[in-house]
Structure 1
Amino acid sequence: MWKRLRGALLAVLLLADVAQAVGAADPSKVVRMPFPAPDDGFDMVRSLNQYSGWLAEAIFEPLLTYDYLARPVKLVPNTAAGMPEVSEGGRVYTFRLKKGIRFTPDPAFKGAPRELTAQDYAYSFKRLLDPANRSPVASFLDGKLAGMDKLVEQARKGAKFDYDAPVAGLQTPDPYTLRVELTAPDYNFLYLAANVALGAVAREAIEAYGEQSRQHPVGTGPFMLKEYVPRSRILLVANPGYRGMSWNFEPGSDPLDQQLVADMKGKTMPRVGQVEVLIIEEEQARWLAFQGKQIDLDWLPQIAAPSVLNGDRLAPQFASQGLQLQRFIEPAVTYTSFNMKDPVVGGYTKEKLALRRAIAMAYKNADEIRLMRNGQAVEAEMIIPPGIVGHDPDYRRLEKYDVAAANKLLDRFGYRKGADGYRMTPDGKPILLRISREAAVIYQEQAELWKRGLDQIGIRAEYPVSNFADNQKAAIECRLMMWGSAWNADYPDGENFLQLLYGPNARQGNNACYESPAYDALYKKAIALPPGAERNRLYAQMNRQAEVDSPWVIHTWRIRNWVARPWVKGFKKHPILNAPWLYLDVEKH
């Protein structure tokens, strides 16, 4: 009798917790924000799209996440009941899951409640490595899980990937225990366990929707997809079955933290009932929408910086509106990649190295900062940006803007000018660069910067226009000659940036399709080391090797100026997390 009563009491308490979480999310509380480029769906096993990642963070849940306020960043449990047990010298991680977490109701579950289990994470990890998915982030786990390589190799040879085959590196001894065994210690593995690409998906949903899983996400997170108009508008609503989270973060030394704690401490989250995301690619249109109060939260478009900022503060007319400003160097780097397999700019012979280095020296980053970014950036010295482990503030690039030196280099290696003043390859063929870009005005400005520099060294170029998602897909497939892009930190270690040039990651994030035995050897040596001075030294050597080979033209580290309306409470931009909506409240306005 007592067991039955105790079970009934626990059920009532669980229902009360769910009711409290549901009641906390007010449908009338809406946060509206823009994306400057479209997503490409919500399946993060198949996407590198930053904006897809923002949305997926609100829908899918990895085992771990980050403390919202802690700086430097700090990992904390998410769906895991606590931090994992680590054994066998850092090769084995045992995660215990919280009980009672459920996926959002979906026809794939045939009307039955579907609880999150350890098997869902095992399945999700395997999906990342299934060759049929061609995951651009397969490197997160490739070669790292004990016993998995054989399964992957069989699938690469044409066999269907066997999701039911036992694998030593992924064991689920009970529904709430996941045991991960690595082939060698990986000092960034816990950061990977906090990445949305390793968030849990339900096998039934993936198999039911197939390719449509990109537009039909089924997760356990605080929000779920309600409306989706590709490349136009996305509407998320609070997940009524979400377990709820108490806003109880400890303030750090940042004065902003004290205000956040005063506004938010003790609240059950999420409070926001709806998140509306609008795709607004033009900076001017985004700023007009913010000024018209159609947007609550955004980073300040660079076009607006001269009129909105007074140094590092808001100008008086904007401060008087109660706008909140957060200003910092973003943990990201902007660059233009060369396709190292392209017959014109690719290759590793001395004349090809000379061509790429001359092209790089023709681009003036100072003009990009002044004209294109309105002063809201600093010139990048290395691939790893400030705030990321491995960044060296004393590192300096060997070659920068120098048109005279670029011309001498081209002359020396046989790139002669024709009668029209434009250069030819050493075998007499005209050079025509194709620098792909997006349609927004800011990228037209960058094309003009490229033309100005390239004209001075006698190289002709054209600038084909497409949208971000299509350009990214083509770049992953090594089909773009050159493309300007950026990389934001997935986790706070330099490896996350340097893996973008690791040879085996070609078609998996290495959009330059760069393959250097010297670089790859340094990479392998570095990731085998624990964090510290020796690993950082190898990171610097990898930067230098990439400079010599020039698969990238490194541009800037951007300064971000996040602005929020006074009715948005609880906002602080996290260095790694992108989707802030779980942590916000909105006052009536």
Structure 2
Amino acid sequence: MRAKKVLVLLTLAVFLVMASGCGKGSSAPSQKETKPLTVGWAQWCTNLDPGDGYNGWYTMEFGMGETLVRVGEGMKIEPWLAESWTRVDEKTWKIKIRDNVKFHNGKILDGAAVKASLERTIGINERAPGLLDIASIEAQGNEVIIKTNNPNPSFMTSLADPFATIVDAEAAEEMGDKFKENPVLTGPFKLKEYVRDERVVVVRNEEYWGKKAELKEVVFKYIPDANTRIMALQSGEIQVADKIPAEQVELLERNKELKVLSESSGRVHMLVFNLERPGLDDINVRKAINMAINRDDLAQKVMSGTGIPAIGPFPPVLPFGGSELKGYHYDPAGAKRLLDEAGWKRGSDGIRQKGGKKLEYTFLSYKSRPELPVIMEAIQSQLLDIGIKIEINNVENISEAMKGGDFDAAIYSFSTAPTGDPQYMLETVFLTGGDNNFGHYSSEKLDALGRKLQSTFDTEERKTIAKEAQQILIDDAAFAFLVYPKIITAVHKDVEGVVITPTEWYFLNSNVGYKG
């Protein structure tokens, strides 16, 4: 009996030692690593090639892509894949690439790879040639020397744009169209699965040059309908939902299982007028529309306080935001007088007309930003009060609809200065012939300021130019700047490390964790 007791005690001791060893030295993954974070995303990529259109926004949001520099706190440029940079002269930049960076396929990132990537981007992205204006790139080991055709003060900030995501250009050449479904990038996460228009699954990059990601796997689901995203969040199907409608914020804040994250954005919701349409080619009509819109109501009532009334295109979160500019105050009586004086008289149906032309239009909207159709309905009512009739047509792809040119006006949400510099929006949206100048606006004075901005390196002077340009845009009333929306994302209480930034690009990073 004594021998049996000793044997039992020895067996128990061995078991306890083994159990203790498993608790301290086990390599078994934690629950945080084994359970993926699932995210509901409102807008979606056409493919995963960062250089193609705006797809770089998504590969960066999904934690896969990185640029040479990034927009940091205070909307200032900071190092990322580039360790440092120097402006040699007005047309020459020397950039030092960070050591020990590997692509997802194990290839080392060096100056030659950066050169090949940027040259590829310039060849396939319609915005890149104008914004970067590169004449030549020379690779020297872990450095690149880049010469621009003209002085380009916004060159380094333009390198933060996701179209400049660094890719393995050799792999892209070898893979052809397959690269669009499986890009070779450098970020803390790499692709596991891509199902077009449905989901993207990424996994931790174990050879990442920086801090290893907290999460092992993240699933991004394309859920364009806001109500469906919210129901999926409440049911636990997803743990993150982006672009929360303003009217749902209070409801979600009452849910103790959820957290609502809100941050000022660098975005503006605005109306783009097609200046080739009869009536809208009259500045008095456009000014009357601006005066008839109650921006305070849009921000406080329609958007439940999640918007800021807009003056010009740039919101106050930016150092050149136009809080002191002279904008349009809500003045429906003044709008009516202006239309009367311009010869636009009400007909028997209450709609204004002149020379046989009625002020009847179809305004485009889209639902992937759920507040936009609601804003449009409010504007529809406000314009009817002054004698302008609006029909609303919700479309799937607002940019493509406007590019076709067959539209009267459209509500459009634009990220105004995602790299922290005003030149981006001025060149692409407002200058004559800009890629996103859908309404065919043209101003010699604004073009002159745009050219001045293109050769001005002094930061304070650039701010002054940007404010002068905004006042011209306001005075010409070719657009109606409505509200600056806040970014609203809802997450499960066990999700950690999500930081909402004005650029909207840097959602998934190494610090995001999930304790569920």
TM-score, length-normalised on structure 1?
0.74
Distance in 2, Cα, partners of 1:339 & 1:128: 31
Distance 1:431 1:223, change over 3 A: same
Higher strand share: 2
| Equivalent position of 1:259 in the other structure | none
- 141, 147, 150: which one aligns with 1:181: 147
Distance in 2, Cα, partners of 1:49 & 1:406: 41
| Equivalent position of 2:126 in the other structure | 135
Instruction: Judge conservation of contact 2:115–2:144 (CA < 8 Å) in 1.
Output: yes
| Equivalent position of 1:124 in the other structure | 117
Secondary structure class of the residue paired with 1:327 = strand
- What is the deviation of 1:410? 2.2
- 514, 518, 541: which one aligns with 2:441: 514
| Equivalent position of 2:511 in the other structure | 584
Distance in 2, Cα, partners of 1:294 & 1:392: 42
| Equivalent position of 1:35 in the other structure | 41
Q: Deviations for 1:205-256, whole angstroms, at most 9, x for unmatched residues?
A: 444555665444332222233333333322222334x42413xxxxxxxxxx
Q: Deviations for 1:520-557, whole angstroms, at most 9, x for unmatched residues?
A: 11122234223444332222211111012222110111
Instruction: Judge conservation of contact 1:29–1:271 (CA < 8 Å) in 2.
Output: no
| Equivalent position of 2:25 in the other structure | none
Secondary structure class of the residue paired with 2:139 = strand
Task: Structure 2 unaligned segments of length 5 or more: list them.
Answer: 1-28
Distance 1:367 1:575, change over 3 A: closer
- 147, 152, 158: which one aligns with 1:192: 158
| Equivalent position of 1:84 in the other structure | 85
Distance 1:538 1:289, change over 3 A: same
| Higher Cα Rg, which structure | 2
- 214, 231, 234: which one aligns with 2:200: 234
| Equivalent position of 2:4 in the other structure | none
Distance 1:458 1:231, change over 3 A: farther
Q: Deviations for 1:304-339, whole angstroms, at most 9, x for unmatched residues?
A: 223345xxxxxxx54x54x54543322221111123
Matches within 5 A, 1:183-332: 183-208=149-174, 210=176, 213-240=179-206, 242-246=207-211, 269-299=212-242, 300-309=244-253, 317-318=254-255, 320-321=256-257, 323-332=258-267
Distance 1:413 1:535, change over 3 A: same
| Equivalent position of 1:265 in the other structure | none
Higher mean Cα deviation, 188-197 or 513-522?
A: 188-197
Identity of aligned residues (%): 19
Instruction: Judge conservation of contact 2:310–2:482 (CA < 8 Å) in 1.
Output: yes
Distance in 1, Cα, partners of 2:470 & 2:329: 15
Distance in 2, Cα, partners of 1:530 & 1:226: 43
Distance 1:306 1:536, change over 3 A: same
Task: Structure 1 unaligned segments of length 5 or more: list them.
Answer: 1-22, 106-112, 149-168, 247-268, 310-316
Secondary structure class of the residue paired with 1:360 = helix
| Equivalent position of 1:11 in the other structure | none
Matches within 5 A, 1:17-36: 28-36=34-42
Instruction: Judge conservation of contact 2:290–2:480 (CA < 8 Å) in 1.
Output: yes
Distance 1:134 1:564, change over 3 A: closer
Secondary structure class of the residue paired with 1:464 = strand
Instruction: Judge conservation of contact 2:115–2:137 (CA < 8 Å) in 1.
Output: yes
Distance in 1, Cα, partners of 2:310 & 2:81: 37
Instruction: Judge conservation of contact 1:306–1:374 (CA < 8 Å) in 2.
Output: no
Instruction: Judge conservation of contact 2:41–2:224 (CA < 8 Å) in 1.
Output: yes
Distance 1:284 1:542, change over 3 A: same
Distance in 1, Cα, partners of 2:501 & 2:125: 29
- What is the deviation of 1:581? 2.0
Distance in 2, Cα, partners of 1:360 & 1:528: 33
Instruction: Judge conservation of contact 1:324–1:563 (CA < 8 Å) in 2.
Output: yes
- What is the deviation of 1:45? 3.4
AA of the residue aligned to 2:419: Y
| Equivalent position of 2:277 in the other structure | 343
Distance 1:472 1:53, change over 3 A: farther
Q: Deviations for 1:109-154, whole angstroms, at most 9, x for unmatched residues?
A: xxxx644332333333334443xx461454312xx33xx3xxxxxx
Distance in 1, Cα, partners of 2:474 & 2:81: 41
Distance 1:446 1:588, change over 3 A: closer
Secondary structure class of the residue paired with 2:393 = coil
- 422, 440, 451: which one aligns with 2:351: 422
Distance in 2, Cα, partners of 1:421 & 1:49: 46
Q: Deviations for 1:88-122, whole angstroms, at most 9, x for unmatched residues?
A: 2x4322123245533334xxxxxxx6443323333
- What is the deviation of 1:26? 7.3
Distance 1:209 1:437, change over 3 A: farther
Q: Deviations for 1:391-439, whole angstroms, at most 9, x for unmatched residues?
A: 2433341x23322222222232233333433233x43133431211124
- What is the deviation of 1:452? 0.5
| Equivalent position of 2:426 in the other structure | 498
Distance 1:376 1:49, change over 3 A: farther
Higher mean Cα deviation, 207-216 or 435-444?
A: 207-216
- What is the deviation of 1:51? 5.5
Distance in 1, Cα, partners of 2:507 & 2:125: 29
| Equivalent position of 2:9 in the other structure | none
Q: Deviations for 1:456-508, whole angstroms, at most 9, x for unmatched residues?
A: 222222222222xx2222334544432212222421233333334342552x2
Distance in 1, Cα, partners of 2:131 & 2:194: 29
| Equivalent position of 1:97 in the other structure | 97
Distance in 2, Cα, partners of 1:388 & 1:287: 30
Q: Deviations for 1:46-93, whole angstroms, at most 9, x for unmatched residues?
A: 3246863644x62232222355xxx3245443223x2023312x4322
Instruction: Judge conservation of contact 2:274–2:280 (CA < 8 Å) in 1.
Output: yes
Secondary structure class of the residue paired with 2:197 = coil
Higher mean Cα deviation, 113-122 or 193-202?
A: 113-122
Secondary structure class of the residue paired with 1:582 = coil
- 422, 429, 438: which one aligns with 2:366: 438
Secondary structure class of the residue paired with 1:58 = coil
AA of the residue aligned to 1:328: E
Instruction: Judge conservation of contact 1:377–1:558 (CA < 8 Å) in 2.
Output: yes
| Equivalent position of 1:528 in the other structure | 455
Distance in 2, Cα, partners of 1:95 & 1:79: 10
Instruction: Judge conservation of contact 1:121–1:198 (CA < 8 Å) in 2.
Output: no
Aligned residues: 485
Distance in 2, Cα, partners of 1:408 & 1:532: 42
Distance 1:136 1:535, change over 3 A: closer
- 574, 578, 584: which one aligns with 2:501: 574
- 294, 298, 303: which one aligns with 1:368: 298
AA of the residue aligned to 2:251: S
